[in-house]
Structure 1
Amino acid sequence: ELPFAVQAPDTDETRQPDEPATTLTARLAEMKARAVAQRETAALVIGSDQVAELDGEVIGKPGDHLRAAAQLRRAAGRAVTFYTGLCLLDSASGQCQVVVEPFRVVFRTLTAAMIEAYLRRERPYQCAGSFKSEGLGIALFERLEGDDPTSLVGLPLIRLTRMLESAGVAVL
């Protein structure tokens, strides 16, 4: 068992002008890890962030019902790529590993009634792409394409275990 504590970083998540999705998510994951590492003297700190991209446009967290409905209407019947940035930072040595894990979601054709029913039940207003794949959001998908399905919930565990092992942590 690996002991851990969850700490919320205080970071500005504003996208830089014309910043690509992969650069944004890597930058934010590292910023979050570095913010927490300032409070920890000898710890491995994990930072992560996720952004969605549709037709080259970054789709953020909707924040409210109307924006979430608009995001899902736009995604219906189409593919959205999710990029999850992951940073493992050793606060003692300063050694830092940063990766971006892509995952593609092909949405089903969605009716307005399906979208409204989903949003009323799950309220995914703080989730990139307006869904929670760990809940009913899975019902919105036609198929999933990628190496690590846990990246959809914001923490690619397959990649994280490899990073921890390379930092000297025996996961098994």
Structure 2
Amino acid sequence: MQNKSSSPLLVLSSSSPARHALLARLQIPFSIASPDVDETPLPGEPVIAMVERLAEAKAKKSAQQFPDALIIGCDQVGTLDDHVLTKPLSYENAVRQLSLISGRRVRFFTGICLFNAKTLQLQRSVEHYDVFFRRLSEGMIENYLQKEKPLHCAGSFQIEGLGISLISRLQGDDYTTLIGLPLIRLTDMLNKAGWPVP
């Protein structure tokens, strides 16, 4: 096992402020990279395969910039039955999504990859977390979107903000999975890679 002073630099390959805040909770030094990766699903690609592939692609993309680093890549999607919930990007799409998930269960899949760019060692996992939504009236949806504006969030809500008010119940092993960086699984991966936490 290495000590952290002799370990590679740790890099979070994500532009998400929520993921930055989550990783900071582990109290280990890290840098941030913003990978430019095409997130378009492949034809017929299952959701689990997609988030796993994209998490790895983001980690490997940042390896070009940090060739000696230990790199964390992540990707997340929400699903309603077999329908993938994307980032709405517009107010109209957000209204449509929240109306669709009203009173229903949404399952979020989060892919995580820890890639050692120097040794090419790779660890991957896909975690899931279930969110059960309240029945949402038009007024609730409009008020929420005006206050939070979650247009770049899968499913059109932010659990770490006012979005919690839209939810009746949560179910899963690690709620940080829902925010986008499964810290329990990541801690296991870091320990295996020689970065003991705590």
* Percent identity of paired positions between Structure 1 and Structure 2: 51
In structure 1, the partner of 2:172 is 146
TM-aligned CA deviation for residue 41 of structure 1: 2.0
User: Which residue matches 1:54?
Assistant: 80
1:162 aligns with 2:191: no
Distance across 2 between alignment mates of 1:81 and 1:7 = 27
Tell me the secondary structure at the aligned position of residue 143 of structure 2: helix
| Equivalent of residue 98 in structure 1, options 124, 140, 161 | 124
- Alpha-carbon distance in structure 2 between the residues aligned to 1:102 and 1:117: 28
Deviation at 1:68, TM superposition (A): 0.7
Matched to 1:24, the amino acid is M
With normalisation by structure 2, the TM-score equals: 0.85
- 1:124 aligns with 150
Which residue of 42, 47, 53 corresponds with 2:68? 42
- Give the structure 1 partner of residue 141 of structure 2: 115
List, as ranges, runs of 4+ consecutive aligned residues in structure 1 with deviation greater than 6 Å: none
**Residue 30 (structure 1) aligned to one of 48, 56, 59:** 56
In structure 2, runs of 5+ residues without a counterpart are: 1-26
1:73, 1:17 → 2: CA distance? 27
Deviations 1:34-78 (Å, cap 9, x if unpaired)? 000111121110000100110111111111111011101000000
Equivalent residue, structure 1, for 2:15: none
Pair 1:15-2:32 in alignment: no
RMSD (Å) for aligned C-alpha atoms: 0.8
2:111 match: 85
CA distance in 1, matches of 2:149, 2:51: 23
| Match of residue 99 from structure 2 | 73
Could you report, residue by residue, the CA deviation over 1:81-126 in whole angstroms, capped at 9, with x for unpaired residues? 0000100000110011110010010100110100111111111111
TM-score (norm 1): 0.98
Q: C-alpha separation between the residues in 2 aligned to 1:95 and 1:22? A: 21
Structure 1: any 5+ residue segments left out of the alignment?
none
Aligned 8 A contact 1:21 1:52 in 2: no
Distance 2:172 2:110 in 1: 12
> How many residues are matched?
172
Q: Show the counterpart of 1:5.
A: 31
